[in-house]
Structure 1
């Protein structure tokens, strides 16, 4: 029997806007000390409080969200990953894996892959849980990964996945490398005397979304010493063009790539010729995947954002 189950993929910040409130208070996942290798059998508690026991390191893993997949490959688990979503496009090797679906997943395909570990995600767990129950009942271990909303939470997510896959040492190295890259970018910009005002646009007309305090977007801007023009707001919000014009950002950064000629479309909005970012030709489109996936490339996202906002410093 084929059963399709809705699986919200947090592949964009806009989708993340719908799930942030659900992810504010969850049990902490257990992690081993950074210097120790994972020992099996291993019992851990995941992001939604479920306890699972792994008798040995898994050798057939299904990832239910692109960020998990990127982490798995960064840990060197290329051969162990047997199934990914239709949205998984990085690294290139991920595109060759069996596809389990997109916003809906196919339980028949997942069953045929005979996984011994499924990495689910907190943001879509409420819709995925029932559909995965047959696999859980058959003995497949499902670990729900935290909906990371900051760099620190992303680091913990990587360490958690490293633990359950027997790759704690590799996870520690990935986190160490990320922290070094973040520090390098932040140090270049800490002397900025007049922070630029930035509007991070997560989706275009007719529903323009952005994010304020308590979001990863805010942390990204804080780290590069820039001012979020909606820092007086909490969480995710939809804004109209008039409000954006009144806040007059120095730079507008588009964190979505689903629209063709998006930069030109923003510049052509009525009244936007009054906005400093348009006048200074500072409407920049950045890579959506790296800026919306809490994984190993998040440090690269910080660097790309820094170059978009402060090209005169970062490109020096």
Structure 2
């Protein structure tokens, strides 16, 4: 059966439904597909799609999110490719669109993420499973927001994602929205991922500095270095997946963020 869908960039695709040969180009969306109950339908993924590890090990790796192996993708003959505007390179996606149905997400907030879960659920014939995941995510984040208010958690935070140069998560990012939902105010006013020098960061006077475990793998030595330059801030290494993965990982993120809030009171 042929069915048409419109992705989050407004592009319409027509696929053989339900799809049986799916390639996922984004780690969080790959994990979502498996958590929706798909298995053999996912034939290809990127080298960063590490969850769940046993599924990752058994699938063809089609390159990195920003450097796809287009010839390998062609050889797999997918009947659906699922990507994301921010994660994947536009030129490569547009080339794939000439040959295959490509569905793209575009996510900035938790509400966007929940909409994506529903849309991907419909796309792969797993709507009830997607609705249940959203039920868990909605309930969990409602509780997180209530907890932040009850405990008066209102701290200024800088969220570092990269080193050399230092880069932060700014406004119009999924990370910024997750911070706000947990009572944390982003000191960065610029959009997307601006570069910053540490002395400039000190001038923004954050209460907290989060060093993300990904995409740059910040370690204890980096924490000590930044503590020496920002002595008035509490510097914490955080699990980047819990702030930036916008699929079913959000269910696990709830418990992580509950504990983080408690640690910050």
Q: TM-score, normalised by structure 1?
A: 0.74
Instruction: Quote the residue 1:189 is aligned against.
Output: 148
Q: Hey, what's the Cα distance between the residues in 2 that align with 1:261 and 1:239? A: 16
**1:176 pairs with 2:156:** no
Instruction: Quote the residue 1:110 is aligned against.
Output: 73
The superposition leaves residues 43-89 of structure 1 with CA deviations (integer Å, 9 ceiling, x where unpaired) of 11223332222342011111112122011111111221010011110
Contact 1:54 1:164 in 2 (8 A): no
296-305 vs 67-76, which moves further: 296-305
Instruction: Quote the residue 2:252 is aligned against.
Output: 300
Q: Hey, what's the Cα distance between the residues in 1 that align with 2:85 and 2:73? A: 19
**1:44 pairs with 2:5:** yes
Q: Hey, what's the Cα distance between the residues in 1 that align with 2:149 and 2:193? A: 27
CA apart distance, 1:152: 0.7
**1:245 pairs with 2:202:** yes
**1:214 pairs with 2:172:** yes
**After TM superposition, what 4+ stretches of structure 1 lie above 6 angstroms from structure 2?**
none
Instruction: Quote the residue 1:150 is aligned against.
Output: 109
Instruction: Quote the residue 2:237 is aligned against.
Output: 285
* SS of corresponding position for 1:108: helix
Query: Gapped runs of 5+ residues in structure 2?
Result: none
Count of matched residue pairs? 262
CA apart distance, 1:210: 1.5
The superposition leaves residues 190-232 of structure 1 with CA deviations (integer Å, 9 ceiling, x where unpaired) of 113362222211113x3111133332232222211123223x4
CA apart distance, 1:260: 6.3
> Relative contact order, CA 8 A, sep 6+: which one is greater?
1
2:181 to 223, 226, 241: 223
**1:85 pairs with 2:46:** yes
Query: Gapped runs of 5+ residues in structure 1?
Result: 1-39, 278-282
The superposition leaves residues 155-213 of structure 1 with CA deviations (integer Å, 9 ceiling, x where unpaired) of 11111111111111111111111111112222222113362222211113x31111333
Contact 1:88 1:95 in 2 (8 A): no
Question: Aligned in 2, Cα 1:117/1:267: closer, same or farther, shift over 3 Å?
Answer: same
Question: Aligned in 2, Cα 1:284/1:113: closer, same or farther, shift over 3 Å?
Answer: same
Q: Hey, what's the Cα distance between the residues in 1 that align with 2:218 and 2:126? A: 42
CA apart distance, 1:154: 0.6
Structure number with greater Rg is: 1
Root mean square deviation, CA, Å: 2.5
**1:99 pairs with 2:57:** no
